[in-house]
A and B are shown apart, each in its own frame.
Chain A
Amino acid sequence: MTIQTPAKEKTHTFRLLAPGVVWMILFLVAPIMMIVYVSFWTQTTFSINSTLTLDSWKNFFGSEAYVGALWTTVRLWLIVLALTFLIGYPAALYVGLLVKSKTVSTVLLVLCVIPFWTSFLIRVLAWRPMLGKEGAINILLQKAGIIDSPIEVLLFSELSVIIGMTQIYVVFMVGPIAFMLGRIDRNIIEAARDLGAGFGRIFWKIILPLSLPGVVVGAIFVSVMVLGEFATSGALSGRKVNLLGNIIVTQVGSLKWAMASVVGVILTILLGIVVAGFLRIVDLKREL
């Protein structure tokens, strides 16, 4: 129920909003502006001063390691995004559309969410005894006689980072897709079937398009989290995989604030492009 907004109502709205808005401007917008600003500061070995310079930017693009981290980040993001979609969609299809009973569907969703009540870092760590040289997978494969000697690339490699990230973030893809699939009117599918459409056709023409907003929301979630990652790569790659996030951490660790800020700005731009790109596919305001 919306009521008109004469002066009194306006001050009321203003008072309710002011604390939150001020908080976000001071502690979210200002810090991000700060990153942009500091990326142009002058960095010396032990300190930093606000003389503006492009040095850090030149350093970034002049260094193979840094630019390499950018491409590693993009590559890992694309791989994890594709995997979460490919692995998550069939699960969402079952949970959101094929399960007739509301209870079963809720139980399955809760089952997917429960791991989130365990510390994120312990979830990452749990992959070590799973993937290690003497880990569960290698032991199982050896016992089954599929392999003779343990696969070593399973842990402390790009592969382990991809596996870990996919497991942690796939639920963010399943949730929104299952939600959108749950909203599809079953009668449409029945009608299409009555008209003689096979499942493949129904999937491509009806189910997939109608679940697209869920895919986009899930993709935005996964992208934002994967692009800002550093803990999973730190814990599972044995420092072999360096993402933009890892560079920020190490630079801050050695008080190289200007370089950390440059990487921060690049990460922000990358995120902006990705999210804006996804939002162009689907007009979320209209769909939700």
Chain B
Amino acid sequence: MESNVLKPILAVYVALFVLFLYGPFIVLGILSFQQGPEGGPQFPIIEWSTYWYRHLFGMVPPSRIAPLPVGEALIRSLILAFMTMVTATVLGVMAAQAFRRRFRGAGVVFYLIVLGMMVPGVLTGLGTSLLANNVLDIERHWYTTAFVAHVVYTFPFAFLVMLAILNRFDSSVEEASWSLGVSPIRTFRKVTFPLIFPGVLSAMLFAFTLSFDEFPRTLFASGRDQTLPLAIYGTFSVEIHPNIFAFGVMTTLFSFALLAVYGILMGLSVRRAKKMAMQEEIA
């Protein structure tokens, strides 16, 4: 293969590709340290400062630029993501559990569930608000209509994650439990669930992240009270200031912190497994 030539070229290409993915973030990060409150969301940097970070937490004297309306929106988004996570994961685990047996209509049910992640948010959002507004005549709220739309979106992800986990699950441990006189329900609680728990965690992580960041469905299906993505969207139409950049940096750092914790936990569990293997060798 001419991979001796191709490989370095592609390596450089991939570096550029990653730069393409991260470039905007870098610029955003730099501009978040723009001087305030006069400095605008563009180059050049008048003077380096943490003004916009302090602005975010209300630690600067009031100016003509209103603080981002993120406080309440953040709490709403967290609650909504939590509700969605629990519901979607429960539905996903149940449906995936049912798929361990062959049954008639499995194909139809599978596509019905997966449809939820394939239909664009703008359509589910529109349809849900039509149903609420023009047929049921109920008011739309983030915790009612937006919530059901979020579950429609995240349930398929939880379902697919659990399906993958359960496919690799050795069901003989469940049978062993039954043969010891333990009822199927108790078996699920004491054997199946603890063993599929890592999968349940990833399903929850998926559902939470997707719901927390969900925008198009929420735009249509939630009512007056804004969630975090809606609050950010609200700043689009008016003039933007570097405070939104500072906010972007903060959320990104928060995500990195979460990822780091996840990475450390994984590393610890790997080390524990290694330690066990060593003990076994000694024994």
Q: Which residues of A contact B (CB under 8 A)?
A: 1-3, 5, 9-10, 12-13, 16-17, 19-21, 23-35, 38, 48, 87, 90-91, 93-95, 98, 108, 111-112, 114-123, 125-130, 132, 134-136, 139, 167, 170-171, 189, 193, 198-199, 202, 220, 224-225, 227-228, 230-231, 234-235, 245, 248-249, 252, 257, 260-261, 264, 267-268, 271, 275
Q: Report Cα–Cα, A164/B239, bound state, in Å.
A: 19
> CB within 8 A of B130: which of A26, A38, A119?
A38
A9: shortest Cβ distance to chain B, in Å? 7
- CB pair B123 A268 closer than 8 Å: yes
12 pairs from A and B in contact (CB 8 Å cutoff) = A17-B109, A25-B112, A28-B152, A38-B134, A98-B10, A111-B18, A120-B213, A129-B31, A134-B43, A228-B216, A261-B130, A275-B118
- Determine the main DSSP class of B at the interface with A: helix
Give the most central of A34, A93, A130, A225: most B CB within 10 Å.
Answer: A34
- CB pair B42 A135 closer than 8 Å: yes
B155 contacts A by Cβ under 8 Å: yes
Nearest residue (CB) in A for B95 is A20
- CB pair B126 A135 closer than 8 Å: no
Interface positions, chain B 144-188, Cβ under 8 Å from A, are 148-149, 151-152, 155, 159, 171-172
Q: A118-B25, A125-B248, A129-B245 are in contact. Are A35 and B102 (CB under 8 A)?
A: no
B74: shortest Cβ distance to chain A, in Å? 11
Q: A13-B98, A35-B130, A267-B123 are in contact. Are A24 and B116 (CB under 8 A)?
A: yes
B128 contacts A by Cβ under 8 Å: yes
Q: Report Cα–Cα, A234/B215, bound state, in Å.
A: 13
> CB within 8 A of B6: which of A98, A114, A248?
A98
Q: Report Cα–Cα, A91/B171, bound state, in Å.
A: 39
- CB pair B248 A20 closer than 8 Å: no
Q: Which residues of B contact A (CB under 8 A)?
A: 1-3, 6-7, 10-11, 13-14, 17-18, 20-25, 27-28, 31, 41-44, 91-92, 94-95, 97-98, 100-103, 109, 112-113, 115-116, 118-124, 126-131, 133-135, 148-149, 151-152, 155, 159, 171-172, 209, 213, 215-216, 219-220, 228-229, 232-233, 236, 240, 244-245, 247-248, 251-252, 255-256, 258-259
> CB within 8 A of B256: which of A108, A117, A170?
A117
Q: Report Cα–Cα, A225/B3, bound state, in Å.
A: 34
- CB pair A252 B129 closer than 8 Å: yes
- CB pair A35 B134 closer than 8 Å: no
- Determine the main DSSP class of A at the interface with B: helix
- CB pair B17 A87 closer than 8 Å: yes
- CB pair A235 B236 closer than 8 Å: yes
Chain A residues with CB under 8 A of B123: 32, 35, 228, 264, 267-268
Q: A13-B103, A167-B24 are in contact. Are A129 and B43 (CB under 8 A)?
A: yes
B222: shortest Cβ distance to chain A, in Å? 13
Give the most central of B17, B244, B252: most A CB within 10 Å.
Answer: B17
Chain B residues with CB under 8 A of A132: 42
Nearest residue (CB) in A for B31 is A129
Q: Report Cα–Cα, A165/B228, bound state, in Å.
A: 22
Q: Report Cα–Cα, A230/B219, bound state, in Å.
A: 11
Q: A16-B97, A98-B7, A115-B21 are in contact. Are A245 and B251 (CB under 8 A)?
A: no
Q: A98-B10, A252-B126 are in contact. Are A129 and B28 (CB under 8 A)?
A: yes
